[in-house]
Chain A
Amino acid sequence: MKYSDKVKELLENPHNAGKIENPDGVGQVGNPVCGDMMTIMIKVRDDRIEDIRFETFGCGAAIAVSSVVTDMAKGKTIDDAMKISNKVVAEELGDLPTNELHCSNLGADALQEAIRDYLDRKEGKVRRRKDMKVELISSHEGTCFCPYCNQELLVKGSSCSNCGKPTLDK
């Protein structure tokens, strides 16, 4: 089995799995075609992330990532939580299998989406998040998408061929 004990442990006992009723911010990234999709919900009080929950469709690594990123963000101020990146999450979790990294390491992106959603709502802007429908997603042509720019990955490599962001897949 290619997963580390830490990933296995987190899959068995994930922290912060579930839903928040009436969340202050919601972020959703990825799509099930690629094999991973993540939703993060936050509850904010006094500029601090009071509660955070995730729902994830994905492999063991994706669920472990969700657990780690939510643990990291819980209790942090919005400003501090905004500093959490995919790289930091990957380091915290340790050895993820390389080809799992790109598609599974969506945790920080989902968190940042949730924070943006929260800030937008606070400013009274229209909700940013589009409700994704499974039917729409599955009409894709069976290809893998970059989690950053949601473009199809044409070439496997160390960076996305569309947006140039590193995929950590070395």
Chain B
Amino acid sequence: MQPIYLDHISATPLHPEVRNAMVEYIQNKFGNPISQHRIGDEAMETLEGARKEVAGLIHAQPEEVIFTSGGTESINHAIKGVALAMGAKGRHIITSNIEHQSVLRSLRMLMKLGYRVTSLPVDKYGLVDPAGLEKAITDDTILVTIMHANNEIGTIEPIAEIGKITRERGILFHTDAVASIGVVPFNVEEMGVDLASMAANQFYGPSGVGALYVRPKTRIAPLLDGGIQEYNLRAGSQNMVGIVGMGKAAELAKKEMFQRMAYLLGLKSAFVEQLLTIDEIVINGHPELSIPNLISFSVKYIEGESMLLMLDEEGVYASTRSACATGSLRASHVLIAAGCDYTAAQGTLIVSFGITNTMEEVEKAFQALKKSVTFLRSMSPLYQKK
């Protein structure tokens, strides 16, 4: 059987046009964009062309976008870069209980340096309460970092509302939008963000390249010091092949966004409808405020990893938790924060669709899932047959 890939939240396959653009570049071009000769000028033109596409995707100006090595670097840069640049101005940062590891660990590192972090609770859908966030602001607060779409349960946070608050209070606002940029519309003006992290491998671009949106006049220090690349914010010769891929992927994502969203939502709805025919399944995340390409659910009385393994044998590839948390045996902090009980959290599966998936694949994947659920439940000491 042809494998069915349902783990697009971990990485998307390259779009054929993206691959062509990258191959074209790697075969014919090289050069450092800041070299002062024609080869350099050509590279600079390619670089700026890609930057324009990425900026276009988020309704920003090209000079507000800096290329990085991916979502993790962008997030580290936003958080640590602001903390470094702010110096004595303040030592308090606000975040939420459901952030990605790169946010949590960047903040943990800052806490060791004496920063204070307030981590906001979420409701059962994983939503942060903007009113609660406003109350958490102190005179010492320098940064608010709240993700846009959650990578484990798909919930979309009220970023625009939070952006309004941070603007009024004059506090910098970063959003980890890795799971959403390129998937759903993102407008830096409407959302009122000062910094936004994104990664190309979420929208059919390559892994190892991402970008950070930086609003003009934002106080942020570089993490990598050296040359003048990326407006003095990220030294080092650019990953040109990756950037070419990201530029193309951004162009396509913008052009096809609504078409893709409608298609993905169709796949997701069909899958969820079938899912609900299995007894004792809990759907995680918000029923409406959610990205169209991901569904998280907990199958009670069985464990997620054994389900994953059985699906793998059937050629269906999904995930149980954030790829970055693989190896941890603990229940997901996101699910626990959203009030899921520990046993159900252990039985969680994340299915994330992509534009190359078909309705037929969704049907096949569901049948494989149903088979493994029935099989594993028959072995579970916790499941009482009804």
Contact = CB atoms under 8 A, between A and B. Distances in A.
Interface of A: 1, 3, 8, 11-12, 14, 17-18, 28, 32-39, 54-60, 62-63, 66, 99-100, 103, 134, 137-138, 140, 142-144
Interface of B: 301-303, 305-306, 309-310, 312-313, 327, 329-331, 336, 341-343, 346, 376, 378-382
B379 A54 contact: yes
B309 A37 contact: no
Nearest to B314: A12
A143 B301 CA distance: 18
Given A11-B309, A11-B313, A144-B329, 20 more contacts: A1-B312, A8-B313, A11-B310, A12-B313, A32-B346, A32-B382, A33-B343, A33-B346, A35-B305, A35-B329, A37-B381, A39-B381, A55-B381, A56-B380, A57-B301, A57-B302, A57-B382, A60-B305, A134-B382, A142-B342
Contacts of B329: 34-35, 99-100, 103, 144
Nearest to B379: A17
A56 B310 CA distance: 15
A34 B379 CA distance: 18
A153 B161 CA distance: 41
B309 A8 contact: yes
Contacts of A17: 378-379
B329 to A, nearest CB: 5
Given A17-B378, A57-B303, A99-B329, A1 B309 contact: yes
B305 A138 contact: no
Contacts of A11: 306, 309-310, 313
Q: A-B pairs with the 5 shortest C-beta distances? A: A55-B381, A59-B305, A60-B309, A39-B381, A32-B343
Nearest to B331: A142
A18 B380 CA distance: 8
Residue from the set B336, B342, B381 with the largest chain A CB neighbour count within 10 Å: B381
A61 to B, nearest CB: 8
Nearest to A1: B312
B309 A57 contact: no
Contacts of B330: 142-144
A129 to B, nearest CB: 12
A63 B306 contact: yes
B379 to A, nearest CB: 5
Nearest to B327: A99
Contact of A3 (B309, B341, B380): B309
Residue from the set B305, B342, B379 with the largest chain A CB neighbour count within 10 Å: B379
Given A32-B346, A34-B329, A99-B327, A55 B313 contact: no
A7 to B, nearest CB: 8
Contact of A35 (B312, B346, B376, B382): B346
Residue from the set A32, A37, A39, A58 with the largest chain B CB neighbour count within 10 Å: A32
Contacts of B327: 99
Contact of B343 (A3, A99, A137): A137
12 contacts: A1-B309, A11-B310, A35-B303, A35-B346, A37-B381, A38-B381, A55-B380, A57-B382, A62-B306, A140-B342, A142-B330, A144-B329
A143 B346 CA distance: 12
A60 B379 contact: no
Nearest to A58: B303
A144 to B, nearest CB: 6
Nearest to A3: B309
A134 B309 CA distance: 24
A59 B343 contact: no
Contacts of A134: 343, 382
Given A8-B309, A58-B306, A14 B342 contact: no
A95 B209 CA distance: 35
A100 B302 CA distance: 16
A32 B383 CA distance: 12
Nearest to B332: A142
A138 B341 contact: yes
Contacts of B380: 55-57
A100 B309 CA distance: 14
Residue from the set B305, B327, B341 with the largest chain A CB neighbour count within 10 Å: B305
Given A8-B313, A99-B329, A134-B343, A59 B382 contact: no
Contacts of A3: 309
A57 B383 CA distance: 9
B232 to A, nearest CB: 41
Contacts of A12: 310, 313
Contacts of B346: 32-33, 35, 57
A8 B301 CA distance: 20
